[in-house]
């Protein structure tokens, strides 16, 4: 993995993945923030189940959250160039009307 700092040359980073690292599936996220941090709770919502269970909580600085936002956008753009447009039904974009998917709390 190569990370490019804001200024200067690229540097090589060695990313270590523990052998026992568990992959978590999430189809629901709750995003909150304070002046100093952004909190993302990744959860799973199952059909016919009234409870959403949070499986991971990630805390980051606003600057790192913005960098993640950019990186995610860049990766989704590359994904769509390779595999085609990701279709999202209009009702899935209205999280306040339908509590399924990813939501933003302010």
Residues 20-58: tens digit of each pLDDT: 999 999 999 999 999 999 999 999 988 888 899 999 999
pLDDT tens column, 57-79: 999 999 999 999 999 999 999 99
DSSP SS3 for 42: strand
What pLDDT is attached to residue 51? 92
| Max CA separation in the chain (angstroms) | 52
DSSP SS3 for 63: helix
* Burial of 20 (C-beta count, 10 Å sphere; 0-12/13-18/19+): exposed
For residue 83, the 8-state DSSP code is: H
Counted residue by residue, the chain has a size of 106
- Asked if the model's pLDDT at residue 12 lies above 70, the reply is yes
* Burial of 44 (C-beta count, 10 Å sphere; 0-12/13-18/19+): middle
**pTM as predicted:** 0.71
Question: What number is the average pLDDT over the span 90-102?
Answer: 55
For residue 16, the 8-state DSSP code is: P
What pLDDT is attached to residue 90? 73
């Amino acid at each position: 993995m190569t990370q490019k700092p804001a200024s200067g040359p690229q540097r090589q980073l060695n990313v270590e993945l523990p052998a026992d690292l568990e992959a978590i599936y999430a189809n629901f996220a709750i995003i909150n923030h304070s002046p100093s941090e952004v909190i993302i709770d990744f959860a799973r919502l199952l059909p016919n189940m009234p409870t959403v269970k949070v499986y991971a909580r990630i805390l980051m600085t606003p600057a790192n959250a913005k960098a993640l936002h950019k990186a995610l956008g860049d990766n989704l753009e590359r994904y769509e160039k390779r595999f085609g447009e990701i279709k999202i039904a209009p009702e899935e974009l209205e999280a306040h009307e339908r509590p399924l998917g990813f939501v933003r709390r302010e």
